[in-house]
């Protein structure tokens, strides 16, 4: 079994050592760690990890600059940012810089591992708790700054949800979408409810407006 190579960049030594030990208990993961100083980039270039776990609040370095350097020098390495309570403006900046996912530091081990395994498969992830009112702020900020495409790419959407959004963007009704996709109308309604939840929107009109503004998908 090919193991997922993980590099954890974290200033707090206790958290760094504890997290690395937990990751190395997994059969499919091999983890090493580094504080957030200049040695982190050196270790990243030497290891060429599949995933970098990056503390958003590094005290020894600027986390955003570290992310940008990693993506520039190791474009195939996926980066997951860790934080307690991400600020929406920071989330947008990190998504724009190429982050593959966010994980909250109070997440469960299962959520943590799911995020790592998901980004390796090319799935960008946001924690469920960021798809509520906080994500509404992120969407608003992204629309104002012209960065909605980057933010939308960080959401987990199924291929069918992508199809539904494309049809909504084209101005089709639920019945027309159902006919196009050869499914029942109530199935389309369920997809739309799931999409609204993920985008922290409330109505189909809000979704149609959002897709019309930026053609997000």
Listing DSSP states for 88-133 in one string gives: HHHHHHHHHTT--EEEETT--HHHHHHHHHHHHTT--B--GGGSSH
Architecture of domain 157-214: Orthogonal Bundle (1.10)
Coil, helix or strand for 216?
coil
Residue 53 has what pLDDT?
94
187-197 in b/e form (b: 16+ CB < 10 A) is bbeebbeebee
Picking from 137, 173, 161, 134, the residue whose alpha carbon sits closest to that of residue 216 is 161
- Measured CA to CA, the distance from residue 205 to residue 45 in angstroms comes to 47
Picking from 88, 80, 77, the residue whose alpha carbon sits closest to that of residue 43 is 77
- Of the candidate CATH numbers 3.40.190.10, 3.40.50.2300, 3.90.550.10, 3.90.920.10, the domain formed by 4-130 belongs to 3.40.50.2300
- Measured CA to CA, the distance from residue 189 to residue 175 in angstroms comes to 10
- Average model confidence (pLDDT) for the chain? 79
pLDDT in tens, 55-107: 887 866 688 888 889 999 999 999 999 886 655 556 667 777 788 888 887 77
Beta bridge partners of 6: 31, 51
Percent of the residues in the chain that have a pLDDT greater than 90, as a whole number: 31
pLDDT at 213 over 50: no
* Ranges of each domain in the chain: 4-130, 157-214
User: Phi first, then psi: what are they for 154, rounded to 5°?
Assistant: -90, 0
Residue 133 has what pLDDT?
47
* pTM given for the model: 0.62
Nearest 10 degrees: Cα torsion 123, 155, 131, 173: -130
pLDDT at 32 over 90: yes
193-209: average pLDDT: 68
State the burial class of residue 21 (Cβ atoms within 10 Å of its Cβ: 0-12, 13-18, 19+): exposed
- Of these ranges, 26-40, 73-87, 195-209, the one predicted with the greatest mean pLDDT is 26-40
């Amino acid at each position: 079994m090919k193991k997922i190579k993980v590099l954890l960049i974290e200033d707090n030594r206790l958290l760094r050592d504890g997290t690395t030990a937990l990751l190395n208990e997994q059969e499919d993961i091999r983890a090493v760690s580094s504080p957030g100083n200049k040695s982190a980039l050196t270790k990243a270039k030497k290891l060429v990890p599949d995933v970098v776990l990056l503390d958003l609040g590094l005290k020894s370095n600027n986390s955003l600059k570290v992310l940008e350097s990693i993506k520039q020098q190791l474009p195939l390495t996926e980066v997951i940012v860790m934080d307690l309570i991400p600020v929406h403006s920071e989330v947008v900046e990190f998504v724009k810089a190429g982050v593959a996912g966010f994980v909250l530091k109070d997440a469960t081990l299962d959520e943590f591992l799911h995020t790592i395994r998901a980004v390796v498969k090319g799935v960008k992830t946001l924690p469920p708790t960021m798809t509520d009112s906080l994500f509404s702020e992120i969407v608003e900020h992204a629309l104002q700054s012209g960065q909605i495409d980057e933010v939308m790419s960080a959401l987990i959407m199924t291929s069918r949800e992508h199809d539904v959004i494309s049809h909504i963007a084209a101005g089709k009704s639920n019945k027309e979408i159902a006919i196009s996709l050869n499914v029942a109308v109530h199935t389309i309604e369920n997809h739309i409810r799931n999409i609204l939840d993920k985008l922290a929107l409330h109505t189909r009109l809000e979704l149609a407006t959002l897709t019309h503004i930026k053609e997000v998908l």
